Structure 1
Amino acid sequence: MQRKEPFRAAIFDRNNVLIEYDFDVAQAFFGPLLPISIFELGDRWQTWGETVGFPATPADETPFWQGFWQHLGDELALSASVVAKLHTFEYVSVLRPFPDARPALQAAKDRGLQVGVLSNFPLATIETSLAATNLLDLVDIAFSSTNIGVAKPNPAAYQHIMQALDIAPKDALFFDDTRIHIDGARQLGFTAYLIDRRQADHDLKTGIINNLEILPTLIDKGTTNFPD
């Protein structure tokens, strides 16, 4: 069924929807320095954040990273020169946008929609990450769970960005790669699509898409929410 009212906003998750990690770049930097894989490094970083608390503001990120690198150096008995090299790492250097991300955001803006990003990314510098991937200029508002103190699928996370955009759930398209986040959005009344880039094709009957190239069609035609 087509909607009677046009959408006013499109809200996107960040990771695996707009942006992905470039593991080749990460491996090129960390491979010569560490005796562990980049995936174990990621696990240790997550554990560090859960232990000491993820930074709530951009200003908190420098000491957060400094503490992690020193802690890792002590745990792995790394040389001072290696630890010094680790301190030069910028996480945005391993981020890259999907080819369809900027065209999708531009399509939404061209159709008069506000664009929001709502991510469970545990760092406060989500805008920095969007700027580094050449997307920020097309985004009206961006929040990470650290910024707002609550994470999807908690209804308060969705409500936070709704208030910032001055919209109701019925006014917005919502895109995420995590099923429980999509379910949470649909329960509130969003028209929400699960994006699964591994899938061969779209399955619009169940609200699954495999890329953002279809976004203009979803905006122009409109849909109702999908059954559970």
Structure 2
Amino acid sequence: MAIRALIFDRDGVLTYFELAEAAAFFRPLLPISIWEMAQEWQAFGEARGFPTSVDDERRFFAAFWEKERARHSLSPAQHEALLAFDYTQFVRPFADAEAALRQARQAGYRTGVLSNFSLASLDASLHAAGLAESVDAACAATVIGASKPQPAAYDRIAAMLMVEPHECLFFDDEPICVAGAQAAGMYACLVDRRRQDSDVAAGVIHSLEMVPAVIERLAG
């Protein structure tokens, strides 16, 4: 067995969203909670269609904030502040993420990110988190038209990395997505950051510091 590429989910594996800071940003701008706003955002995206390109994403946000302005009778200043909102400023890398990607590249592996993200700006979020320089290819579900655990999503990232699925080792924090990768022919491992330790033999790790141990076990 020869692994040539390591593929990671973004949210919960490489990065997390600084929710408290985002809530503080929205608090003076909207009369609803960040959770209620997120529900309105989801409903808007499902009705309109989530953006499939960065240009479409700009139009998406402009239309959504205009809808919020009218729905909640926002002031011009509140509306302008929402139009300037950049979610990537609240994306944070886990402490072990950059090193895991960098060391994988140094060891000769190609690196990819496969996310069920509903926005097109996955690359921008990786740049904001300081991870983009160590990523060879990144796929967001809304852009490629397939989401995990659909086989097409895994096939697409493998093709972008110029490897076959059986040459990939995939890491995700959702069991269904790990199972999807395995069904697509990849080796896969669950990342559960709630755990205090890892069970490499069972395919579960609590930290990306354990990635080399997973590779070593597969090679053995």
Common topology (TM > 0.5): yes
Q: What's the offset of the Cα at 1:200? A: 2.1
Residue among 186, 196, 202 paired with 2:198: 202
Residue 120 of structure 1 is matched in structure 2 by 116
Within 5 Å, which residues of 2 pair with 1:155-166?
155-166=151-162
Q: TM-score, normalised by structure 2?
A: 0.95
Percent identical residues? 43
Q: What's the offset of the Cα at 1:17? A: 0.7
Question: Amino acid of the residue matched to residue 114 of structure 1?
Answer: R
Are the equivalent residues in 2 in contact too, given 1:198–1:210 (CA < 8 A)?
Answer: yes
Matched, 1:174 2:170: yes
Matched, 1:211 2:169: no
Are the equivalent residues in 2 in contact too, given 1:196–1:208 (CA < 8 A)?
Answer: yes
In structure 1, the residue corresponding to 2:16 is in which secondary structure? strand
Within 5 Å, which residues of 2 pair with 1:95-110?
95-110=91-106
Residue 14 of structure 1 is matched in structure 2 by 10
In structure 1, the residue corresponding to 2:149 is in which secondary structure? coil
Q: Which range is displaced more, 93-102 or 198-207? A: 198-207
Are the equivalent residues in 2 in contact too, given 1:186–1:192 (CA < 8 A)?
Answer: yes
Q: Which range is displaced more, 210-219 or 145-154? A: 210-219
Residue among 61, 70, 89 paired with 2:66: 70
Q: CA RMSD in A?
A: 1.4
CA deviation vs aligned residue, 1:61-111 (integer Å, no higher than 9, x gap): 111101111111212222222111111110101111111100000111111
CA deviation vs aligned residue, 1:19-61 (integer Å, no higher than 9, x gap): 1100122022111222221122222111111111111111111
| Structure 2: gaps (5+ residues) | none
Higher relative contact order, structure no. (Cα contacts within 8 Å, ≥ 6 residues apart): 1
- Would you tell me which structure has more helix in proportion to its own residues? 2
In structure 2, the residue corresponding to 1:198 is in which secondary structure? coil
In structure 1, the residue corresponding to 2:28 is in which secondary structure? coil
Cα distance in structure 2, aligned partners of 1:197 and 1:41: 27
Q: TM-score, normalised by structure 1?
A: 0.92
